[in-house]
Amino acid sequence: EPETQSYDFWAVGQDCCSQTAADFRCGAWSHTAARKAIRIIDSEASPYYRLAVKQAETLYGIVASHPIFFRWSVDPEAEVAAWNRKAFSNYVFMVCVAFVVSLFALTLATCQFAFIGRSGQMEMLNDPAWNSDVYQPVAMDPSMPRYNGV
C-alpha cells in the first residue's frame, strides 16, 4: 500500500490485456530497459481507462483518487522527437500545397482580369475601316477634322 493510500499512476494500453488472467502486456512491457513512460492525454480513451481503474478499485480494494495514465516506453524522448519531425514535415507539405493552390488561383485571376473590358473591343475588328491604312471610326462627328496621317 502506498504512503498516500492512493494509486494515482497507471500504465495503460488498448487491446493488450488477457481475458483470462490478470496480466499486463501493453507498450514496452517486455523490455527490461523500459523504465520511462509517456503520459496519455486522450479524451476519447480516458473514460475507458477510468472505468478500468474503477474495476481495479472494486476488485482489489484500493483507492485511486486522481488517476494519471501512462504508456510504457523504452525511449519516450525519441518518440516525442519523431512526433515533432512528423509534425514539421506535415507543416512543410501543407505550406507547399497552399503555395500551389495560391499559384493556381493567381493564374485563374490573372486570366480573368486580362479579359475584362475586351468584349466591346472585339466588335471593332469587324469594322471594314479597321483594315484600311488609317483607321477612322465610323460614328465620328463630321464636324471634327479627319486625321490623314499627315
The predicted-structure confidence for 125-148, as pLDDT tens digits, reads as follows 666 666 666 655 555 566 666 555
Question: What is the reported pTM?
Answer: 0.57
Low-confidence ranges of the chain (pLDDT < 70): 1-4, 18, 21, 117-150
d(CA 68, CA 66): 7
* Partner residues linked to 10 by β-bridges: 69
Domain ranges of the chain: 1-74, 76-116
Helix (H) or strand (E) holding 111: helix 76-114
Number of neighbouring beta carbons within 10 Å of residue 42: 13
